[in-house]
Amino acid sequence: ASHTSALERLLLRGGKSGVGAGSASMAGGDRRLADMAVGLQKLAVDVISGKEPMTESLEHVLQAIREDMEGVTKKGNFDHAEDQGEVDRARDAILSCNVDKGKILMYTNLTENAEKEHGTCRTEEGELIMKKKETCSHVAEIAEYTKVPDCPNNLVELQDWIHWAEKLNETLSPPSEECIETDEALVEQVAACNKSQALFESTFCGYHQTVEFTCEVYHECRKLAIADRDDVHAAVKIAEAGRKAEYSTATDIMCLVDVLEAKDAERQGKYQKCADKTTDTSKLDIEYHDAPAALDCDTGPVTVYPCLGQWQYDHYTSKTWYLQAPTTVCTPCVHIEPPTDIPTPSPATSLPTSLPTLLPSLSIAELASRRHDSSDLPTKSPADGGHHLTSMAAALQQLAVNVIKGTERLTDSHLA
């Protein structure tokens, strides 16, 4: 009767099937089952030895215990499936972190096309520059006659002055129609190429921003998902160990219940089998997953970006068209701190940016009004004619350099 009362108290502690439901705590459930197993083991020994009789009340208690343990095992299977689902979900969360390669590829193609179009434009610009040098060669010849001879001191030297002035006047003939058209086409080409350059740089900046942002989002997503997976694994491993312990003890209890419910002649043999048995809990094993391999998200192609010196070398200054048609000032990406190594663009040609000072020069308008004054040199004093021609030479030399460089165009006012 004492054994029966003790078993009834264990069965009623926490309510029927309370252990499998995760009752107050896993540890509390383990202790309850362990106490029940110890009580049943002592009862079995006493019943086999004849010290404790089997009564109807005890049979009812044993039946309730069997139902309780079946609930424990069923709940264990259910919890195992739920925990395995949590582990799988944690793995799938890592896999859900994705790299939008389609968007990156789109920007890659846009950038490559923009660079190709810019390179083609600069090549055509260089060809127009060469054509202008050919069709407007008489303008370049002006510079050959801008070196002013020494002031004449006698009639022979004065004749040299007149010859020089005549040659200079010949070079001032109007440019050909082809020269004018080439000059206008070049101005338009330079503007178009500068626009194409700006488009290429802004497209590359978009490419840079897309790659950097996409990879940053992916790596952050993966980092958080792996941290969550680690937390899930840690919690499930604790639950898994407790669940296996409960399942093992529950099967031991049901084995002892079988002993007590057996016939007298069979109890000893069944009891020995219970003592020798080992419980296989492998069906409650959780399959833990390693973190899936990281996806390839390479920021290498955009490590160097507009307008770093290396970037300008890779995309501009190392190109064959650059010497003839150099780029304009590079526009940095607005989403990046301006680089500190932006190089100064090379000049368009090797012409000097400044000329030696001769004498105070006349304006182009003044030169136009005095275009044929050189024919009057014999009637002027040498000093007066020398000052006029020297000033004209200085202005024409500067005009010639500007026209050759493309910074100034010949207009009707120049030719008048």
pLDDT tens digits, one per residue of 205-215? 999 999 999 99
Tell me what pLDDT residue 193 has. 97
Counted residue by residue, the chain has a size of: 416
- The stretch 88-111 carries a mean pLDDT of 96
What is the spatial distance between Cα 91 and Cα 105, in angstroms, rounded to a whole number?
28
- The stretch 53-57 carries a mean pLDDT of 88
Torsion of CA 270, 258, 49, 4, to 10 degrees: 160
Least confident residue range of 235-239, 274-278, 354-358: 354-358
Q: Is the sign of the CA dihedral 385, 387, 393, 399 positive or negative?
A: negative
pLDDT tens digits, one per residue of 321-339? 999 999 999 999 999 876 5
Are 146 and 389 in contact, with CB atoms under 8 Å apart?
Answer: no
How many CA atoms within 13 Å lie on the side-chain side of 326? 17
What is the spatial distance between Cα 342 and Cα 329, in angstroms, rounded to a whole number?
9
Instruction: Report whether pLDDT(68) > 80.
Output: yes
Q: pTM here?
A: 0.62
Instruction: Report whether pLDDT(261) > 70.
Output: yes
| Maximum average pLDDT range among 13-22, 157-166, 182-191, 401-410 | 182-191
Report cis status (omega within 30 of 0) of the bond before 151: no
- The stretch 266-293 carries a mean pLDDT of 94
Q: Nearest to residue 186, comparing CAs of 406, 411, 415, 410? A: 406
Average predicted confidence (pLDDT) for the chain: 80
Tell me what pLDDT residue 410 has. 57
pLDDT tens digits, one per residue of 123-135? 999 999 999 988 8
Instruction: Report whether pLDDT(18) > 50.
Output: no
What is the spatial distance between Cα 305 and Cα 200, in angstroms, rounded to a whole number?
12
Task: Kindly provide the b/e burial profile for residues 47-62, where b requires at least 16 CB atoms within 10 angstroms of the residue's own CB.
Answer: bbeeebeeeeebeebb
What is the spatial distance between Cα 339 and Cα 308, in angstroms, rounded to a whole number?
6
Tell me what pLDDT residue 208 has. 97
Q: Nearest to residue 241, comparing CAs of 284, 279, 287? A: 284
Q: Nearest to residue 162, comparing CAs of 392, 416, 386? A: 386
Tell me what pLDDT residue 324 has. 93
Tell me what pLDDT residue 162 has. 82
What is the spatial distance between Cα 11 and Cα 18, in angstroms, rounded to a whole number?
9
What is the spatial distance between Cα 226 and Cα 314, in angstroms, rounded to a whole number?
39
Band (166; pLDDT cuts 50, 70, 90) = confident
Instruction: Report whether pLDDT(16) > 50.
Output: no
Instruction: Report whether pLDDT(384) > 90.
Output: no
Instruction: Report whether pLDDT(405) > 90.
Output: no
Host H or E run for residue 251: helix 177-261
